[in-house]
Amino acid sequence: MFGLNRPTDRSRRTHGARAVVTGAGSGIGRAFACEIAARGGRVVCADRDEQRADDTVALIERTYPGVAYAFRCDVTRHEDVAALARFADTLFDRPVDLVINNAGVGIGGKPVGRIGFDDWQWALDTNLWGVVHGCEIFAPRLRKAGRGGIINVSSAAGFAAAPTMAAYNVSKAGVLSLSETMSAELNGTGVAVTVLCPTFVQTNVARDGRITAESAQVADFLMRRSSHSPARIARTALDAHDRGQLYVVPQLDARAIWLLKRSFPAGYTFVLGLLKRLLPQNDSNTVDRPAVTDPTGV
């Protein structure tokens, strides 16, 4: 979807892959890991929460024994991601050929000026720097091998710019821009880049994030109404990566936003203003939970 700017490559690069997935402890990351195993691959399930990573491995092992491995990794730490790469290098019988930079956190509900620098740093450290670390460390390995690919999990928030979500929007816009840049840089090397931009998916990112209580209720409602499960999103993204697509915008609402913003920018600005009036205005009650590298879903 939205991959017309890349030449079509009908390879099966995600089948039998040697893969690394960050934020693999739940949600979209867990779905990616399970689907890679189902495609005959082997996968390192990395997560800041070691128990969650172990749980994903146990889930995979019930059907595909010996193909999944847990690794504790805090993607905000460059040295952790470097250790993840070394672990994968020694584990697999060939170089890693698929990297999925998925780890992310949710944040929202406050306008700029009330977010606070701590929350800005918290969001950017995981959502943007986590992906930067993954790309900086793994891209040279893939380029040297002359094959494989990178899937970066962004969000429709990366281009939608919804009110009261500035820190999240900025972090995901950075991932989108990074992916576009790398797609151009790696053109002709045999390494494909895909960026996934979903809207609401049935994950626990809102529950585990730093989101005001009112906004969390809205997010939970929209996630429950979503017809797109993490498994469906993961399959869609992997299939698109096989076809050499850069952009994956899997849901109808995300595609409508994408087209509206580019075709009718003035109309889109009007819609954003209307949305601001519909959103909860009380930002005094923030649900501030421990940071986890849970897959993004908005």
The pLDDT assigned to 252 comes to 85
The pLDDT assigned to 289 comes to 42
* DSSP structure string for 182-209: HHHHTTTTT-EEEEE--S--SSSHHHHS
The pLDDT assigned to 56 comes to 98
Would you say residue 2 lies in a domain?
no
* DSSP structure string for 52-76: HHHHHHHHHHTTSTTSEEEEE--TT
Strand partners, 108: 211
DSSP state of 139: H
Domain of 172, in residue numbers = 18-295
The CATH number covering residue 193 comes to: 3.40.50.720
The residues of the chain scoring below 70 in pLDDT are 1-10, 200-227, 273, 275-298
The pLDDT assigned to 209 comes to 56
Is there a contact between 134 and 105 (Cβ–Cβ < 8 Å)? no
Would you say residue 124 lies in a domain?
yes
Would you say residue 84 lies in a domain?
yes
The pLDDT assigned to 177 comes to 98
Would you say residue 10 lies in a domain?
no
The pLDDT assigned to 40 comes to 97
CB atoms within 10 A of CB 224: 9
Would you say residue 13 lies in a domain?
no
Structure tokens at 240: 């698109």
The pLDDT assigned to 266 comes to 77
If you search the block for the tokens 């840049």, which residue do you land on? 181
CA–CA dist 193, 195 (Å, integer): 7
Which candidate, 147, 175, 211, 126, places its Cα nearest to that of 13?
147
pLDDT digits (tens, 9 = 90+) for 4-22: 444 444 578 999 999 999 9
The pLDDT assigned to 263 comes to 82
188 φψ region: left (φ > 0), alpha (ψ -120 to 50), beta (else): left
Would you say residue 6 lies in a domain?
no
What percent of the chain stands above pLDDT 90? Answer: 67
The number of domains in the chain is 1
CA–CA dist 219, 113 (Å, integer): 22
Is there a contact between 295 and 230 (Cβ–Cβ < 8 Å)? yes
Note the pTM of the prediction, 2 decimals: 0.84
The pLDDT assigned to 202 comes to 58
The pLDDT assigned to 138 comes to 98
Contacts of 226 (CB under 8 A, 6+ apart): 199, 200, 201, 202, 251
Q: Report the catalytic residues.
A: 168
Structure tokens at 165: 């979500």
CA–CA dist 240, 187 (Å, integer): 17
The pLDDT assigned to 278 comes to 58
